[in-house]
Amino acid sequence: MATILGQNQYGKAENRVVKITRDGDTHHIKDLNVSVALSGDMDDVHYSGSNANVLPTDTTKNTVYAFAKEHGIESAEQFGIHLARWFVNSQEPIQRARIRIEEYAWDRIATSDANSKFIGSDEVNHSFVRQGMETRVTQITYDGTNWEVISGLKDLVVMNSTNSEFWGYVKDKYTTLKEAHDRILATQVSARWRFNWSDDEQRMPNWEKSYAETRKHMLQAFAETYSLSLQQTLYQMGSRIINHRSEIDEVRFSLPNKHHFLVDLEPFGLKNDNEVYFAADRPYGLIEATVLRDGVDARIPVDMTNL
Amino acid sequence: MATILGQNQYGKAENRVVKITRDGDTHHIKDLNVSVALSGDMDDVHYSGSNANVLPTDTTKNTVYAFAKEHGIESAEQFGIHLARWFVNSQEPIQRARIRIEEYAWDRIATSDANSKFIGSDEVNHSFVRQGMETRVTQITYDGTNWEVISGLKDLVVMNSTNSEFWGYVKDKYTTLKEAHDRILATQVSARWRFNWSDDEQRMPNWEKSYAETRKHMLQAFAETYSLSLQQTLYQMGSRIINHRSEIDEVRFSLPNKHHFLVDLEPFGLKNDNEVYFAADRPYGLIEATVLRDGVDARIPVDMTNL
Amino acid sequence: MATILGQNQYGKAENRVVKITRDGDTHHIKDLNVSVALSGDMDDVHYSGSNANVLPTDTTKNTVYAFAKEHGIESAEQFGIHLARWFVNSQEPIQRARIRIEEYAWDRIATSDANSKFIGSDEVNHSFVRQGMETRVTQITYDGTNWEVISGLKDLVVMNSTNSEFWGYVKDKYTTLKEAHDRILATQVSARWRFNWSDDEQRMPNWEKSYAETRKHMLQAFAETYSLSLQQTLYQMGSRIINHRSEIDEVRFSLPNKHHFLVDLEPFGLKNDNEVYFAADRPYGLIEATVLRDGVDARIPVDMTNL
Amino acid sequence: MATILGQNQYGKAENRVVKITRDGDTHHIKDLNVSVALSGDMDDVHYSGSNANVLPTDTTKNTVYAFAKEHGIESAEQFGIHLARWFVNSQEPIQRARIRIEEYAWDRIATSDANSKFIGSDEVNHSFVRQGMETRVTQITYDGTNWEVISGLKDLVVMNSTNSEFWGYVKDKYTTLKEAHDRILATQVSARWRFNWSDDEQRMPNWEKSYAETRKHMLQAFAETYSLSLQQTLYQMGSRIINHRSEIDEVRFSLPNKHHFLVDLEPFGLKNDNEVYFAADRPYGLIEATVLRDGVDARIPVDMTNL
């Protein structure tokens, strides 16, 4: 045989599970999109088509729904840990499980305060509107011994309408860009951060609180950095997270520079004093980097923030 | 000539304009996507290719940006009114202008309260995060005499986790559905409402306040209706708007029934007490209807809520 | 009651049905996305939530799949006619059915000619690759007496790399565009054409042949028209169809002008002799018009080509 | 400093360049989407915002368009090689360039054979329709010494309507799937293959021919494999490529199992003899693997086929 099998994995992707939890009359929602990828002793199914070691992808789907009942969904991370542990521990041929989860956030709908019929009734507690801002993501990997948890978010669009410059750059024969001393800086954040929790003996982070705090620090760093380049802003966002969140050792970003070009209004006898912008689609600058706690190894793959 | 020209229109679509307004050190954003469609004496350009009556689509784009400076963007509706009036009044061959606008909402980023450097400084006032919830839309049409303004929203996803039933329906030879006495009701609202303002002599509505109030009433009606069918909920949403907002005469909705199917956990020895759901993609029920103030004519086209 | 119900319809949307037909060892595919919308005596379900007249959307879905077996899928149009007739004729409260269908085309995969094992065997006849070019669409409407069939396509991207000009247009104070005497003309065709077949007594068109011929004439008209404006090209495409296809009375197009801007290479000491273009996304010109057989009434709605 | 910078890269993404080449009166199109990512001595821009080593992303965009003129676009791979070499060789701080390119294919429009005016004229040679089937992709990486070229495709949808089974798999407490002895096998191929060309001293592959042949072998292997699992089909597709194309050492696939579920028509008294299927969206099985020439190292990243 001139060819051999390399890295491989399989499972059911994009299982959309919604879990309603009742706290008295108050309902809570968890809305997830769960993807399972299993690896192990899978040579035969590739070489000969024998499924003797293959737990069907359909079964991995069933397990997601059954576990939502059996374990509940405390957080996306905790739910992924339950799933990964089960697949590795319950199936001899499976040596590694990777669970990816997207989470969609919901707010409560405020009902009419003038309508006493509903004040204090259970009806105010079961109506929701989907936030739509970022998508929260996590990836849990387990090999039977060690855990790796990488969480993050994507599609969070932010803008500073000033306090951004760009000048002093290299100029070669193809350079035509004019230097900017006051520009809009806007990006659609895709970020992944890796937890240093890796072992059942360690104390597990509070996943929900960690997410809220990490997101807050990241947004504040974006807002508070006077930017000379998007790279500088990126580094500030990453280091702010690591400096404030001891459970996180590494952060990676993909930050598209969503260009807002000042429109030339002079042909119409008008002065554009940083007021009117054209929001361009493509092309866009793309700035990507990893920020690490000093002394740790980088483990977030280069393209993970592009998934 | 065996063929003739029917309805026609042209213009530049999807002009992405962002306007920054400075109120002292506080910045405000308007983020619009503006599409222009002009009609009039355009036979020649279709029959012979003569552009003698054609204002270039490129010029309509320039006008959008110039008007953002000259008139500012008080609201999407007001901005569309400025544009429509200009095209019809300034160009003899143009007899009708239709301006469609999408608007994307932004929130302010809260900066770190512990960081006194930024409290009360101008830096807290120029950083934004895009909301991402619904897209606000409007369409302004002007024929030189009368105005038609149809506003609305799309992609607002809402859910009631209880207080919804579906039973007592027709059963034919292809019916297999089981009746439901407690189900999730979720939909992605696309709505358009028509204002009765149609004439420069009338007092113009407060477009921003009207939007906020209309959205609020619609959401409250969704939350507060004990639903026996999505049609009933739709009608309540529409009539609530018309009963509370005298400036609006007609509302049309497209409400996809975003099915959340209760997962059968019995094969695994588990009871699913309205807890674990599969959120399905396709197919979906689609409920569409117009609700009118009694005595007025319907004018919102059937498919407008599908754009 | 201060509000009343206007136009309304409901049904199951986007039923994805794939039908395999075996002609000896040769398999044929029909791959459709079918959406059902029913109207009639539906006041009660909106006003009170009574479902007594409501055939469930789930039943309309079941009917689609059952009919694929009972009637086969000879063409999207014929399949829609079977469905529309059934809903109107079998359910007293339903007075009108509208069936929308998207169809995805598949080609056969050519297997290795050097591999005699497969030549002439049944294995060459069941492997397919999805074309991916345009999506074919149709809409069938039936009210118990008359039929309306509007077919068409969307997302067919075409380009002429020369034989297009644009000059002699109106210039106002916002005009900066330079005249063009040799430009790229590219568009993404969305077209709908209405058949004059409306009655079971008339001879039904050959839907498959009609589609192939109409598409061919449309493409040829695009390619063969020396264009002074996209409006002129549009009109030629429409009139070519009507002049060649007696079964079609009306055509409507939405043609986005997919701008290809000549890149200014002079800053780099290079001459761009209509060679290197930037393909822009937004904004884009949008040209829309109806072309009619002389003497008939226009019935295709203005926004149908934007669905 | 408690944090340090890890892997980083920057550049302009998604430069849409269309190149028209005239061969006498016959025009040829190359339609690319080019993304540039540069790495090197970039600590300062991240730590302090100094742009002294930063060639602007805008300049990388200009270079793409200038090179389309200066070097032409013989193939996406060759074009990427020109670009990568330039950035690394011309800028001291840049030590590595990665060029990603998507290519969209166009066919010629056949003009009317009965219309002698156009036969043999130049007008038949400049009209095109975009194929829309797969998107061809490539990635070129250069560090000043070695080249890595990984090409491939995405969004190629294929189906076998028979000759696929799935049985003999593991059954655990969550398994409910029934074994299948004749099912549809459909997938949307995402594939990447790595060339062993890595050095300017080696003879460069014929990139255009290599793509056509690789695609052909992959499709034939899909069509000709009697499948007991999608993993087996994947392995056949990969090994067929490596066995036929000596310039390729490694192939990686992501193959979503696009489920086509046989619809249960028994409630309607109908037998579904592998004729009527529901084409599901989510969830889907996802099968991913690398196939290697024996003795070489794997270098295509695990998630590259998910970009």
Contact D174 B282 (CB under 8 A): no
Query: According to the model, what pLDDT value does residue C113 have?
Result: 55
Q: Which residues contact C246 (CB under 8 A, 6 or more apart)?
A: none
Average pLDDT by consecutive 10-residue portion of chain B (307 residues)? 93 98 92 98 98 98 98 98 98 98 96 51 76 96 98 98 97 98 98 98 98 98 97 98 98 98 98 98 98 98 97
pLDDT in tens, D189-204: 999 999 999 999 999 9
Long-range contacts of D24-27 (CB under 8 A, 24+ apart): D25/D121, D25/D122, D25/D125, D26/D122, D26/D125, D26/D126, D27/C161, D27/C162, D27/D125, D27/D126
pLDDT at residue A259 tops 80:
yes
Query: Residue A164 and residue B120: Cα distance in Å, rounded?
Result: 20
CB contact under 8 A, B282 and C51: no
CA D100, CA D140: separation in Å to the nearest integer?
A: 7
Query: How much is the pLDDT for A264?
Result: 98
Nearest-Cα distance to chain D for C290, in Å, is: 23
Distance from CA of B127 to the nearest CA of A (A): 5
- pLDDT (mean) for D148-153: 98
> Which percentage of chain D shows pLDDT scores above 90?
93
The pLDDT of residue A93 is above 50:
yes
| Per-residue pLDDT, A111 | 76
Beta carbons of A105 and A130 less than 8 angstroms apart: yes
Among A131, A130, A148, CA closest to A139: A148
Catalytic-labelled residue, pool C154, C233, C259, C290: C259
What is the token pair recorded at B140? 């302004």
Q: Which chain B residue has its CA at the smallest distance from D177's CA?
A: B267
CA atoms within 13 Å, Cβ hemisphere of A136: 18
Residues of D in contact with C280 (CB under 8 A): 16
Looking at residue C25, its pLDDT comes to: 86
Average pLDDT, chain C: 95
Encoded amino acid at B242, one letter: I
Distance from CA of C213 to the nearest CA of B (A): 18
CB contact under 8 A, A229 and D13: no
State the average pLDDT for chain A.
95
Cα-Cα end-to-end distance for chain D: 34
- Measured between beta carbons, the chain B residues lying within 8 angstroms of C46 are 231-232, 234-235, 289
The yes-or-no answer on residue B181 being catalytic is: no
Contact D276 C133 (CB under 8 A): no
D222: nearest CA partner in chain C: C127
Q: What is the mean pLDDT of residues C165-187?
A: 98
Tell me the three state secondary structure of residue C244: helix
Q: Is there a catalytic annotation at residue A154? A: no
- Cβ contacts (< 8 Å) between C134 and chain D: which residues? 132
- The one-letter code for the residue type at A22 is R
Residue of B nearest to C225 (CA): B49
**Could you report the per-residue pLDDT of D79-111, keeping only the tens digit for each?**
999 999 999 999 999 999 999 999 999 999 987
Query: A264 contacts in C (CB within 8 Å)?
Result: none
Give the integer Cα–Cα distance in Å for B307 and B298: 18
User: Contact A5/D235, CB-based, under 8 Å?
Assistant: yes
Give the model's confidence band at D219: pLDDT under 50 very low, under 70 low, under 90 confident, else very high. very high
Q: Which of A286, A227, A224 is nearest to A253 (CA)?
A: A286
C239-264, pLDDT tens digit by residue? 999 999 999 999 999 999 999 999 99
Annotated active-site residue in B12, B30, B61, B258: B12
What whole-number distance in Å separates Cα of residue B180 and Cα of residue A95? 43
State yes or no: is A3 an active-site residue: no
The rounded Cα B195 to chain-centroid distance in angstroms is 13
Q: Using a CB-CB distance cutoff of 8 angstroms, which residues of chain B are in contact with residue D282?
A: 281
pLDDT greater than 90 at residue A57? yes
Q: pLDDT per residue over C268-293, tens digit each?
A: 999 999 999 999 999 999 999 999 99
Contacts of C24 (CB under 8 A, 6+ apart): none
Place of tokens 């092309």: A283
Confidence of residue A123 (pLDDT cuts 50, 70, 90): very low
| Minimal C-alpha gap between C281 and chain A (Å) | 7
Q: Are D49 and D73 in contact (CB under 8 A)?
A: no
- Length of chain B equals 307
* Other CB atoms within 10 Å distance of the CB of residue C89: 12
- SS3 for chain A is CCEEEEEEEEEEECEEEEEEEEECCEEEEEEEEEEEEEEECCHHHHHCCCCCCCCCHHHHHHHHHHHHHHCCCCCHHHHHHHHHHHHHHHCCCEEEEEEEEEECCEEECCCCCCCCCCCCCHHHHCEEEECCCCEEEEEEEECCCCEEEEEEEEEEEEEECCCECECCCCCCCCCCCCCECCCCEEEEEEEEEEECCCCCCCCCCCHHHHHHHHHHHHHHHHHHCCECCHHHHHHHHHHHHHHHCCCEEEEEEEEEECCEEECCCHHHCCCCCCCEEEECCCCEEEEEEEEEECCCCCCCCCCHHHC
Chains in contact with A, where contact means 3 or more Cβ–Cβ distances below 8 Å, are B, C, D
Chain B nearest-CA residue for C14 = B283
Residue C122 is predicted with a pLDDT of 44
Comparing alpha-carbon positions, the chain D residue that sits nearest to C159 is D128
Q: What band does A119 get if pLDDT is binned at 50, 70 and 90?
A: very low
Nearest chain C residue to B244 by CA distance is: C2
Number of CB pairs < 8 Å for C and D? Answer: 196
Residues of chain C with C-beta less than 8 angstroms from the C-beta of D155: 132
CB atoms within 10 A of CB A71: 14
How many Cβ contacts (< 8 angstroms) between chains A and D?
A: 283
Rounded-to-integer distance, Cα A286 and Cα A295, Å: 27
> A220–B270: do the CB atoms touch at under 8 Å?
no
Q: Which two tokens stand for residue B32?
A: 């619009």
Provide the pLDDT for residue D1: 59
3-class DSSP state of D128: strand
Pick from C177, C258, C268, C270 the residue to mutate for testing the A interface (most A CBs within 10 Å).
C268
Is residue D27 within a helix (H) or strand (E), and if so which, with residue range?
strand D26-40
Predicted confidence (pLDDT) at residue A117 exceeds the cutoff of 60: no
User: Distance (Å) from the C-alpha of residue A269 to the closest C-alpha of chain C?
Assistant: 10
Provide the pLDDT for residue C119: 40
What secondary structure does DSSP assign to C130-187, as a single string?
E--SPEEEEEEEE-SS-EEEEEEEEEEEEEESSSB-B-S----TT--PPPBSS--EEE
Of B61, B82, B258, B259, catalytic: B259
Q: C7-25 pLDDT, tens per residue? A: 999 999 999 999 999 998 8
Prior bond of B283 cis (ω within 30°)? yes
Contacts of A134 in chain B (CB under 8 A): 132
Percentage of residues in chain A with pLDDT exceeding 70?
A: 95
Q: Which two tokens stand for residue A239?
A: 């280091």
Contacts of D278 in chain B (CB under 8 A): none
Q: How many CB atoms lie within 10 A of CB B252?
A: 29
By Cβ distance, the residue of A37, A54, A303 closest to D169 is A54
Q: Which of B28, B57, B71, B135 is catalytic?
A: B57
- Is a pLDDT exceeding 60 seen at residue D116? no
**Cα A203 from Cα A213, distance rounded (Å):** 18
